[in-house]
Amino acid sequence: MINESIIDAMVRMARDAMQRAHAPYSGQPVGACVLASDGTLYGGCSVENASYGLSCCAERVAIFRAIADSKREFDAIAVVADTAEPCVPCGSCCQVMAEFKIRDVIMANLKGDIEIADLMDLAPCATGKIHNFRGLHSHEE
């Protein structure tokens, strides 16, 4: 599990990214931050579109930014929104997290509530490099 100061930095970056979201349709801006294994943090914000299906969640924006910067290994991701409960990633984002074996999912809101879940508990059906993923992070450990 990642340490508390890194979690705080990730949530701060996600909150900062949230301010740059393009969310005129939902009115619900979301921010995210992914932690690459070399310690680099990448922020992302939700980017909506008039054709709703083209919108992209903050988590995927953060991951894709990191991928475009040549990162391939990650330790955790944080997601933040102004929600009553900590913001939970959607199934599409969980699928992308599974692709890159991002295990620790930090969910937060603006009130300071934080919950951390294992991706496999959030999205046990996520596929891709799932066999390696399960091998690395077996629940029988």
Q: Rule CB under 5 A: which residues touch Zn ion?
A: 57, 90, 93
List the beta bridge partners of residue 114.
108
Residue nearest to Zn ion (CB): 57
User: Contact, 17 vs 44, CB < 8 A?
Assistant: yes
Least distance CB 135 / Zn ion (angstroms): 26
Reported in sequence order, the residue ranges of the chain that DSSP labels E, i.e. its strands, are: 30-36, 41-45, 74-81, 104-109, 114-118
Least distance CB 90 / Zn ion (angstroms): 3
Q: Report phi then psi at 34, rounded to 5.
A: -110, 140
CA distance 86 to 135: 28
- Among residues 24 and 91, whose Cβ is nearest to Zn ion? 91
- Among residues 38 and 89, whose Cβ is nearest to Zn ion? 89
Say which of 59, 99, 115, 140 is annotated catalytic.
Answer: 59
- Among residues 35 and 93, whose Cβ is nearest to Zn ion? 93
Is-catalytic flag, 59? yes
Least distance CB 57 / Zn ion (angstroms): 3
CA distance 59 to 109: 14
Which amino acids are annotated catalytic?
59
